[in-house]
Chains A and B, each alone.
Chain A
Amino acid sequence: MQSFDPANPSQPHHKRDVTTTPLQALTLFNSDIVFGWSQALAGRVIREAGNDESAQLTRLYQVLFSREPNKAEKTALKEFLSNEEKLIAQKTSNGKFEVAVPTGLKDTQQLNPIRAAAFVDLVHTVANSNDFAYRF
């Protein structure tokens, strides 16, 4: 985890470094561990908001940013979801049936795995977008 600059204990400072490096960005976007968190968060959002797409998006933004997505964001997200489902469907039809699905879901929730995988991609991307990964 050297790519994240931990505070240097040998130097006094009243202001921590705020620049995100490309290495940090890569880690956040590509590391399996972080991706696993996104799967868990996706599971949590579905558990809490149910199967309705709009409700899920609202719940996700509430959890991450304490606000609701605005109209432009909702449009972008919904477009992404329908497109992503197509991409994943294509991947699975080519024989590769492994997809990353949300984790921590109750058995009772019947989910279309392809749609769920698309939602995981969405959650991971939103979690990496400026608001969340950077501020708190």
Chain B
Amino acid sequence: MSIASRRDFLLKTGQGLGGAAALTGLIPSVGAFGAAHAADLVDPLAPKQPHFPAKVKSVIWLHMNGAPSTLDLYDHKPDLVKLAGTDVPASFLKGIKTSTQGGVGKLYASNRTWKQHGESGAWFSDLVPSIAQHADKLAFIKSSMTVGATHDISILKLNTGDLNPGRPSLGAWVTYALGSANPDLPPYVVLYNGKSEPSAGSVNWNSGFLPAVYQGTAFRPGASPILYLDRPELRAATQQRSSLDLLKRLNALGTAQRPADTELLARVRSYELADRMQAAAPEAVDLAKETDATKALYGLDDPTSASYGTTLLRARRLVERGVRFIQVVSGAPDGETEYTSWDAHSDLEKNHGLMARMVDKPIGGLLADLKSRGLLESTLVVWTSEFGRTSYGQSGNGRDHNAWGYTQWLAGAGIKAGTTYGETDEIGLQVADKDKAVDTYDLHATVLQLLGLDHLKTTFLNNGRSERPTVVYGKVIKELLA
């Protein structure tokens, strides 16, 4: 009796294991294979040269999930404080469509004290004292804007450039364009703190229409970062090793017989990477060898910042090990159930008090640590969010979503440190000069540029159509580059 398909095998030998329905989704069907992809498949993760020389080798993408109010962190607006408690003057609402539940509230100011820091004199609120120490390392983008009033959609746009699923994430494009710098680890890793995976989903690190090998690998918090990294319980380590050696031997016999079979080669490479990852991944995330001083630097001794600090310390270790794109999604401190993201529609004071305490020391520590180890010269750190928050209040003591003007920042190799690009209006609601607006596409184009990639030349042929990370948009913001 022969097996006609993989589904057949599962049906015939996997009786009582959930049935065919549960399994058919597992197996991708193999279609006809075009010659165009053959070269890529020999080793899709082989390192590739950027379009032009660049300093940045690794990106740490700090996604502040839930959308922080940068009006309460970086974007100092004395006029907002002055006008707090009054209605938004009509002139500031021109050109935008508000959809706040409960209506546009009065202008809101939280209890902040603001100070200028460093030679650049950049403003920071009392919520981010550690990050403020690094004022002169940052290049602010105070004219950020985007679309979409809901988190999931805007997060998708932030990461993949589209409001609908189907496009590769920025990390996937980077992996596609540059390949891997460390054959033992995935080149694109997703980190998060908190109990569960980021709620917006894995579509935010998927490969879209790019080959699946470019998708992000999520490392879970805790000692066992990848599911199935450990062998089944009933197999000893010696059995695992000998089985993997047999696998290599059988695969070698296969490739010797079919040397031109690129699918086979790619597959063999995946198994080999998986084999190496079994040892390399736990080592990469193990903080045992880090000094107490380093751990304190990242805020691991404070229960509020401990989990986020752990992810950033892991991120630094991954950078040291050549991982190209590390997508860090902020979660919540261990045990926190009330404020689980930056999404402060109400209780902004308490919410941001907690969230800022969660990220401030770790981010300051990361910047200091990267600098002292000489890694800042080859790493790009990005503070980003799906949008900002409104100047007018919501629910009395919160702020609504604001896609019309907010702040993000860059730090690290190739950027013009200690500068600010663009600004919002006097009350921090909209971008002041629309010609200086920085959309997510522009942020992507700029990040790619820093990696040595021209976004217009980073293309992939999908069903006959040439695609690029910036869709049909994208402008490199030259003022941010050193």
> Chain B's nearest CB lies how many Å from the CB of A4?
5
B212 at the interface (CB under 8 A from A): yes
Point out the residues of chain A lying under 8 angstroms from B34, CB to CB.
15
B213 near A21 (CB under 8 angstroms)?
yes
Which residue of B has the minimal Cβ distance to A80? B246
B6 near A136 (CB under 8 angstroms)?
yes
B81 at the interface (CB under 8 A from A): no
Point out the residues of chain A lying under 8 angstroms from B211, CB to CB.
17-19
B337 at the interface (CB under 8 A from A): no
Which residue in A18, A31, A77, A96 is a CB contact (below 8 Å) of B28?
A: A18
Which residue in A6, A73, A98, A128 is a CB contact (below 8 Å) of B271?
A: A128
> Chain A's nearest CB lies how many Å from the CB of B228?
4
B253 near A8 (CB under 8 angstroms)?
no
Point out the residues of chain B lying under 8 angstroms from A27, CB to CB.
227-228
A84 near B3 (CB under 8 angstroms)?
no
B243 near A125 (CB under 8 angstroms)?
yes
Q: What is the bound-complex CA distance between A80 and B30, given in angstroms? A: 31
Which residue of A has the minimal Cβ distance to B5? A136
Which residue in B166, B239, B255 is a CB contact (below 8 Å) of A84?
A: B239
B182 at the interface (CB under 8 A from A): no
B3 near A63 (CB under 8 angstroms)?
yes
Q: What is the bound-complex CA distance between A24 and B254, given in angstroms? A: 20
Q: What is the bound-complex CA distance between A90 and B213, given in angstroms? A: 38
Which residue of A has the minimal Cβ distance to B2? A66
> Chain A's nearest CB lies how many Å from the CB of B211?
4
A1 near B26 (CB under 8 angstroms)?
yes
Q: What is the bound-complex CA distance between A34 and B118, given in angstroms? A: 57
Pick from B261-269, B388-396, B444-452 the stretch touching chain A.
B261-269
B101 at the interface (CB under 8 A from A): no
Point out the residues of chain A lying under 8 angstroms from B27, CB to CB.
4
Which residue in A30, A62, A80, A90 is a CB contact (below 8 Å) of B232?
A: A30
Q: How many A-B residue pairs have CB under 8 A?
A: 207
A2 near B202 (CB under 8 angstroms)?
yes
A87 at the interface (CB under 8 A from B): yes
**What 0/1 pattern do residues 114 to 127 of A give for CB contact below 8 A with B?**
00000001101110
B482 at the interface (CB under 8 A from A): no
Which secondary structure dominates where chain A touches chain B?
helix
A135 near B44 (CB under 8 angstroms)?
no
Interface residues of B in 226-255 (CB under 8 A from A): 226-236, 238-239, 242-244, 246-247, 249-251, 253-255
Which residue in B14, B202, B230 is a CB contact (below 8 Å) of A40?
A: B14
B104 at the interface (CB under 8 A from A): no
For A, the interface residue count at a CB cutoff of 8 angstroms equals: 71
A130 near B232 (CB under 8 angstroms)?
no
A16 near B239 (CB under 8 angstroms)?
no
B9 near A11 (CB under 8 angstroms)?
no
Q: Give the contact-size bracket for chain B.
A: 35 or more
A33 at the interface (CB under 8 A from B): yes
Q: What is the bound-complex CA distance between A26 and B231, given in angstroms? A: 9
Which residue in B28, B263, B277 is a CB contact (below 8 Å) of A16?
A: B28
Q: What is the bound-complex CA distance between A134 and B264, given in angstroms? A: 8
A18 near B31 (CB under 8 angstroms)?
yes
Point out the residues of chain B lying under 8 angstroms from A15, CB to CB.
31-34
B95 at the interface (CB under 8 A from A): no
> Chain A's nearest CB lies how many Å from the CB of B275?
8
> Chain B's nearest CB lies how many Å from the CB of A124?
7
> Chain B's nearest CB lies how many Å from the CB of A32?
5
> Chain B's nearest CB lies how many Å from the CB of A49?
12
Which residue in A14, A62, A128 is a CB contact (below 8 Å) of B2?
A: A62
A30 near B228 (CB under 8 angstroms)?
yes
> Chain B's nearest CB lies how many Å from the CB of A45?
10
B254 near A100 (CB under 8 angstroms)?
no
B236 near A10 (CB under 8 angstroms)?
no
Q: What is the bound-complex CA distance between A37 and B215, given in angstroms? A: 27
Which residue of A has the minimal Cβ distance to B273? A22
Point out the residues of chain B lying under 8 angstroms from A20, CB to CB.
212-213, 266-267, 270-271
A87 near B31 (CB under 8 angstroms)?
no
Which residue in B26, B233, B247 is a CB contact (below 8 Å) of A128?
A: B247
Identify 25 residue pairs between A and B in the complex whose beta-carbon atoms are under 8 Å apart, listed by A's number.
Answer: A4-B25, A4-B27, A7-B28, A14-B31, A15-B33, A17-B207, A17-B212, A18-B41, A19-B270, A20-B266, A22-B186, A24-B212, A24-B270, A26-B228, A31-B232, A37-B17, A41-B13, A63-B2, A84-B242, A126-B250, A128-B247, A130-B250, A136-B4, A136-B7, A136-B9
**Footprint of A on B, CB under 8 Å?**
1-10, 13-15, 17, 25-34, 37, 41, 44, 164-166, 186, 202, 206-209, 211-213, 215, 217, 226-236, 238-239, 242-244, 246-247, 249-251, 253-255, 263-264, 266-268, 270-271, 273-274, 277-278, 463
A18-B211, A40-B14, A136-B30 known; 13 other A-B pairs, CB under 8 Å? Answer: A1-B26, A10-B164, A19-B266, A19-B270, A36-B17, A64-B9, A66-B2, A72-B253, A87-B236, A121-B242, A129-B250, A134-B267, A136-B6
Q: Which 3 A-B pairs have the closest CB atoms?
A: A25-B274, A136-B5, A100-B234
